Amino acid sequence: MISKTKRRSALLGIAFSIIAFSASAQNKAAMQNSTPEQRAKMQTEWMKNKLALNAAQIEQVQALNLEYALKNAPVLQSDEKKLSKLKKLKASQKEKDASLSKILDASQYEKYQELKEQMLEALKEKKQ
């Protein structure tokens, strides 16, 4: 049996993957009802604004966001159990973060991690 903390952490990881970079309820709804291409575009815009990406980074981040949005879409739409989905999406997010660390400079990646943590904390507070 998975501990409540581990399960909550995994759920938050999935939530981040699904609604990554959304700041409002309207954006959250838009993310959940969007195509992978639309999600990738929204994520890229958010990152462009929050991380001050240069033109080359924008192009690379857009491609990466699209790659992972397409990769995660079948998982999100599958009939698999939540735990199985959680594991797959968490692994996918870890891979994506590793790729991002090669695109972003050190300060941008640090800020990205901080913003991601803030979003996860906000989700934790909403769940309690």
| 100 domain-assigned | yes
Q: Are 37 and 69 in contact (CB under 8 A)?
A: yes
| 38 domain-assigned | yes
Written as one string, the DSSP assignment of 53-72 is --HHHHHHHHHHHHHHHHHH
Tens-place pLDDT, residues 35-85: 999 999 999 999 999 999 999 999 999 999 999 999 999 998 889 998 998
**For residue 24, is pLDDT > 60?**
no
| 11 domain-assigned | no
pLDDT at 30: 60
pTM: 0.75
What rounded mean pLDDT belongs to the chain? 84
Tell the burial category of 114 from Cβ atoms under 10 Å away from its Cβ (0-12, 13-18, 19+): exposed
pLDDT at 76: 87
**For residue 9, is pLDDT > 60?**
no
| 9 domain-assigned | no
**For residue 126, is pLDDT > 80?**
yes
Provide the number of structural domains found in the chain: 1
| 5 domain-assigned | no
Angle at 93 between CA 40 and CA 67, to 5 degrees: 40
| 6 domain-assigned | no
Question: Could you list the residue range(s) of the whole structural domain that residue 120 is in?
Answer: 19-127
The percent of residues in the chain predicted with pLDDT above 90, rounded, is 59
| 3 domain-assigned | no
